[in-house]
Structure 1
Amino acid sequence: MLTTFFFLAIMFLGVPIGICLCLSGMFYIWDTNNAVLFQSFPMQMFGGVDSYGLIAIPLFILIGEIMNSGGITRRLVALSMAFIGSVKGGLAYVNILANMLVSSIIGSATAQVAIMSQVMVPEMVKQGYDKTFAAGVTVYGGMLGPIIPPSVMFVVYSVLAQVAVGDMLIAGILPGILLTTLFFVVIACMGWIYEYPRSERKTLRERAKTVLVASPTLLIPVVIVGSILGGLANPTEAAAVGAVASVLVGRYVTREFRFSQMPQMLVRSGIYSAIVLFLVAAAAVFSWILIFGKVPQATAAWIQTVAHDPVSFMLLTNVILLVIGTVIDGIPGLIMTVPILLPVATDLYHIDPRHFGVVVVVNLVLGLMSPPVGLSFFVAAAVTGAKPGRMFIVTLPFFLICCAALVLLSIFPSLSLALIK
């Protein structure tokens, strides 16, 4: 109990979550008078990152860097516009579809929101959309980043849950498509009510030209996702091939990538990767302490008094994770909750860990769009100047449809597992 209070106290003081996890582990060892456990502390941290699958993280991050500097994002947006055509609320559809295509390369919600806010919001405002609505739609489109492969959060979950990285990445495809479809439905309903402007009408020849010019950029997600689905490469190998493909497309197709930019990209990718991997290492220590202190067993005993079947357990988990996700970012949220809840889900309720992982990730990502913090709204606000609170209110239907999607994913495991062999 003292360790819990210590953890919450230093976290609310603003100590970085990775440091909080390590210090809490040390405090528990000191509080329980088990100084001999300090000898295992470094080994537990090293063991947490001693995983081949984690190599995919810096590679996926590097792909996003190359794609952004190589002009690939703009071409994917143009491709989306060619597909959507002149319909009411067309640019809102384009926003979601472009986010879906970009998701298959970036894999990070906040990074995607930052990039797409710069690309989509000014264009939507120019066409007559309210800036707050445009920024809010971009935020929910960015939600697809950690769900559609590649996904850094799924890689981290795979390591925490000891499941195949490839299975987790594939498990995110159908939920990503489901969310995209539901977002389209919301835009159609809101467009009918608020009379959203139509996108610019283009001739069939202009659309064909756009598709011809922009289609080579699809090589990157096809290489990454296709090689995993086809069994030709594991996620780490697919990420390496995807990085090479992004360089080739950016250099010889879009002709905007410069090799002189690579050192800065590698530095930025290295810094972000180091942050993520340190969190994973700290999570290993935290999980070890939780198991040693029999926290999962105590949690299981309490949950059994509330949830009597797998569905009620999943719905209870949704509520718990949504509350946690409103104040804690996605990866730290995974690190704090998976070691406690996963053993309960698999051992007591016999829930497939891959299905559970999808629900956990979608839930924590939704927390990025939920008050009181709503990190993604603040990222969009910093780029666009829109107000975060009003952004949430204007796009409330998207939040509600996400909650409905979470319920569907919780009740029907096939929505996550159908594509896994």
Structure 2
Amino acid sequence: MNRTSNPGDNQTGTSQRPFRVTEDELERALRETLAGRVAAPQPLAADPAAVALRRARRSGRRRALSGLALAGVATVLVTAGMAQLGEPGGNHGTPTVVLGDPRGFSPAPLPTATAPAPGPVRAELDLILGSRLETSGGEQQELTNVGPVERAQRLPDAGGWLMTSATPAGRTLWWLPPNGSPPQVLLAGADAVAVAANGRQVAWRDGPDLHAAGLVGGQLIAANQTPAPAGAEPVGFAGDAVLIRQPGRGGFATWSRSAGARPGPTAPNVLAVYGELPDGRVVGLVAAGKPGRPCVALLDPARDLSPVRTGCGPELAVDGLGAISWDQRWLLLNGAGKAALLIDLRTLGTTVTAHPAGPPVVAGVAWTQTGVAMHVDATGGLVRVRPDRVLDGERPTASTIDGVAPADRPVVVADAGA
């Protein structure tokens, strides 16, 4: 069927206006359209960058507000803690405060303040700890080959130290020079050794004889000797006279160091001696009254240790463990019970007042020149006795000395004084 043309109809068999578009023209038109859209962009319905920025600002404000709130809480807690510290019986714990964003945050606990671990005891006097000398100034020196030390004493004028050790062959007296040199043997194989309180004289028993000598620069000089009574041992000095203890409770005697002298008669009522006063009298114990109870006495060595003054009162031990202070006022010794006693020698009269002074003495007592007595108790602890505190009612206790084996009992080194 053929269609006829209509003047008002644009659909004819052929185009009256040819509209041929080449591929290049189509591509160019597409390019122009896209370029126009880039030059004049339409606003996006949702901007991802703007959203991210707004969220970040909101999060920052929340964190700032959280920090300020926690800071306020911390201020309140600290203020409340300070107020509680000022109240009796308040909570004395230290609060832990964390500032910042708490979400998903687990802070590590702050370190709690604790007391420092106890370290080695620093004593006012030198100590021998096992095979080591530790001075009051903190210096240490090994005592090579010395063996177990029984007693030790610092020499005057920085002259070093004297130490007595026990060996199977007897007592050995060592001199430790002050320059760090090894210990040197002064005596070996003695039955007993005694050193004067000032460190200038030494007495010892060797077999059947008593010996005594001066000590200068680590050398024994001007030695004397005399036959010894059976079983007698030197225990100390009163001036130049050697104090001799008879075995058991046989009493005490004196021996002058002058050439050819013999020990004096024995005073059987003298039970113990503790030291010498400046006037030459000796502080000791005598058996007084009936049945011969131990009493504190002042003894005259020039009259065969006859008592000059005697005071009785407390029950006293007769083990001879004790010493008098450098100012000659105080005597620390053992009571008959399980305690040491402190006695004021200035008040010595017909009666004696004794003050309990802590654990009993099991070895020597050493006094500092400032008036503190030091000794080691049965547990190996160091005991400090201050007379002023004892008079106020204090009961001294032992302090543990770290780094000392149980078998190595510490030894307090006596001060040589002037």
For normalisation by structure 1, the TM-score amounts to 0.22
TM-score in terms of structure 2 length: 0.22
Structure label with greater radius of gyration = 2
Q: Whose helix proportion is higher, 1 or 2? A: 1
Q: Which structure: greater strand fraction?
A: 2
